[in-house]
């Protein structure tokens, strides 16, 4: 069994601490107890830092993970802002770029389906996005999630306002009241 390289300095330090503790015990038994305290304090100081580091590393790993992404995360704010400006074709193209750059992500397909159903009222486009997502995504759970979202958005098309209606009647209270007068 081969010890990890990270434990070798700790083992060496433990041996030094054990030697200092034993020297302190010998000094305590053979001379006054007062002369043993510096050995024990030094042993405690040498042991405190690596022991605290080993004990705290699991907690630090939970609070501050060291996982790094190999590339930057997708920028969903760009197509969302285009969608809010009612530039639906540009928003759809931006989602397509994200889906091409991040083939393991389900969110761009979900957003394209939402855009096709709720804003463009184009069920054929939504079905083609679903087919592309099913072909591209590898995990079964993500495929099932995308299929469920497709069904949810399909059901929402009967009650959701179109993009033109959203432009006419705003969601703010003052605009709704103004449109009723």
Confidence at residue 173, expressed as pLDDT on a 0 to 100 scale: 43
Q: Are the beta carbons of 150 and 126 closer than 8 angstroms?
A: yes
Of the candidates 69, 46, 66, which has an alpha carbon nearest to the alpha carbon of residue 57? 66
Of the candidates 105, 102, 155, which has an alpha carbon nearest to the alpha carbon of residue 126? 155
Residue 158 or residue 80, greater confidence: 80
Confidence at residue 107, expressed as pLDDT on a 0 to 100 scale: 93
Average pLDDT over residues 177-181: 43
- Please state, in angstroms and rounded to a whole number, the distance separating the CA atoms of residues 106 and 113: 11
Confidence at residue 177, expressed as pLDDT on a 0 to 100 scale: 41
Confidence at residue 176, expressed as pLDDT on a 0 to 100 scale: 44
Provide φ and ψ at 74, rounded to 5°: -65, 145
The overall pTM is greater than 0.75? no
Q: 10 Å Cβ neighbour count for 153?
A: 20
Give 33-54 pLDDT, tens digit per residue.
777 888 888 888 888 887 788 8
Give 117-144 pLDDT, tens digit per residue.
888 888 889 999 999 999 999 999 999 9
Tokens 């580091």 sit on residue: 53
Q: Are the beta carbons of 152 and 77 closer than 8 angstroms?
A: no
117 DSSP assignment: I
Give 52-99 pLDDT, tens digit per residue.
888 888 888 777 777 666 777 888 999 999 999 999 999 999 999 999
Q: Helices 88-101 and 123-136, interaxial angle, to 10°? A: 10
| Burial per residue of 5-43, b for 16 or more beta-carbon CB atoms within 10 angstroms, e otherwise | eeeeebeebbeebeebbeebeebbeeeeeeebeebbebb
């Amino acid at each position: 069994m081969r010890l990890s390289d990270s434990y070798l300095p700790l083992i060496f330090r433990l041996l030094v601490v054990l030697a200092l503790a034993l020297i302190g015990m010998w000094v305590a038994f053979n001379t006054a107890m007062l002369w043993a305290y510096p050995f024990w304090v030094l042993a405690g100081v040498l042991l405190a830092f690596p022991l605290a580091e080993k004990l705290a590393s699991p907690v630090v790993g939970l609070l501050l993970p060291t996982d790094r992404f190999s590339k930057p995360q997708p920028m969903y704010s760009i197509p969302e802002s285009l969608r809010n400006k009612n530039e639906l074709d540009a928003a759809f193209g931006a989602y397509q770029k994200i889906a091409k750059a991040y083939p393991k992500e389900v969110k761009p397909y979900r957003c394209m389906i939402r855009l096709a159903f709720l804003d463009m009222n184009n069920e054929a486009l939504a079905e083609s996005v679903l087919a592309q997502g099913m072909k591209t995504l590898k995990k079964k759970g993500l495929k099932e999630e995308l299929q469920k979202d497709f069904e949810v958005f399909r059901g929402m098309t009967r009650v959701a306002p179109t993009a033109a209606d959203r432009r006419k009647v705003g969601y703010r209270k003052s605009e709704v009241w103004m449109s009723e007068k």
